[in-house]
Amino acid sequence: MDDNEFLAHRFEQNRTHLKAVAYRMLGSLSEADDAVQEGWLRLSRAEVAEVENLRGWLTTVVARVCLDMLRSRRTRREESLDIHVPDPIVREIDGADPEHEAVLGDSVGLALLVVLDTLAPAERLAFVLHDMFALSFDEIAPIAGRTPGATRQLASRARRRVQGSEPVPDADLARQREVVEAFMAASRGGRFDALLELLDPDIVLRADHGGPGSTLVRGARAVTEQALTFSRFAPFARLALVNGAAGVVAAPDGKAMSVMAFTVVGGKIARIDILADPHRLQRLGLSSVDD
């Protein structure tokens, strides 16, 4: 094995870790792949013979690439008021996908990624690298271009936003599944009172259609009315794991029309995040999630 082959082998050993970092930083699977690929290009051009901790070096490089991407994206999104739901990771509810499970790790819910999208780029960097991957503030500071103390403050501010924005979901997947199945059954039957009973009074529904028409709905009654308008698609819905939690994929004629991620808290549905952007759904390749 020559030097290039050895370097490529070492990079592949770290690819899943790097994608996990990039996915949490960006909330986009395609952009995460781009960031990881850029990490490889920089590695192939660098002199790393003296690098003792290649995993740490690569993590720093990919994190810096992600930070630049976030800053560029933030400028574009400030011009738009559309609802945005990050890319979901979807798999069969009773299946196993080691790559996806490794990228999710301790599971990062879609609702959490929505909150991370509201953070400033440097806040997100500090929170993700410190709170999710246990990097020290001394390691993160050069990436953020701040002192370690300032970086600690960034992470603390982000942590308060995260903890104050989203409820802690129930961990019992079987219970989540029961609640989501009950929701789908009530939707199919058009049973308003049954739907209302399943929802937290302060529920928030976000629906990303890829532009105009995207919606943000608050409150159990308003969400129930919204759910009933989609009841005609309920027969085409199937359970799936969405970012490690019980969710639903609706696929009329076998073509994915939407992915619904549910956040179940105390046996009630507290959040529903829907991706219904046809272009992004096509990129996700959801035909692999079979009935």
Q: How many domains does the chain have?
A: 2
pLDDT confidence of residue 153: 98
* pLDDT band of 226, cuts 50, 70, 90: confident
Distances (CA, A) of 226 to 71, 86, 197, 202, 267: 34, 21, 15, 15, 21
**Order of strands, edge to edge, in the sheet holding 90-91?**
90-91, 237-242, 245-250, 258-265, 268-275, 199-208, 215-218
Q: Tell whether 243 and 123 lie within a shared domain.
A: no
Which structure tokens are listed for 155?
Answer: 């992470």
Q: List the domain range (segments joined by +) for residue 20.
A: 3-82+113-165
Same domain, 159 and 197: no
pLDDT at 291: 45
Can you give the pLDDT at residue 1? 54
Residue 214 and residue 269 share a domain: yes
Q: Which domain-ending residue is among 165, 182, 209?
A: 165
CA 42/CA 61 separation, integer angstroms: 8
More confident residue, 69 or 287: 69
Overall average pLDDT of the 177-195 stretch:
93
Same domain, yes or no: 138 and 184: no
Q: Is 221 found in the same domain as 128?
A: no
Residues 118 and 232 in one domain: no
Same domain, 142 and 276: no
Res 199 pLDDT > 60:
yes
**120-142 residue pLDDT tens:** 999 999 999 999 999 999 999 99
pLDDT at 289 over 70: no
Backbone angles phi, psi at 242, to 5 degrees: -115, 110
pLDDT of residue 95: 57
* 117, part of any domain: yes
- Contact partners, residue 270, CB within 8 Å, separation at least 6: 167, 169, 200, 202, 203, 204, 263, 264
User: Are 179 and 272 in the same domain?
Assistant: yes
pTM of the predicted model as reported, rounded to 2 decimal places: 0.88
Does residue 92 sit within a domain? Answer: no
pLDDT of residue 254: 79
Identify whether 190 is part of a domain: yes
Q: Is residue 103 part of a domain?
A: no
Looking at residue 197, its amino acid is E
Q: 133 and 233: one domain?
A: no
pLDDT at 288: 44
Q: Are residues 185 and 43 in the same domain?
A: no
Residues 29 and 136 in one domain: yes
Q: Is residue 271 part of a domain?
A: yes
- Assigned domain for 198 exists: yes
Query: Does residue 104 lie in a domain region?
Result: no
pLDDT digits (tens, 9 = 90+) for 80-92: 557 889 999 998 8
Q: Are residues 129 and 256 in the same domain?
A: no
Kindly report the average pLDDT of the chain as a whole number: 88
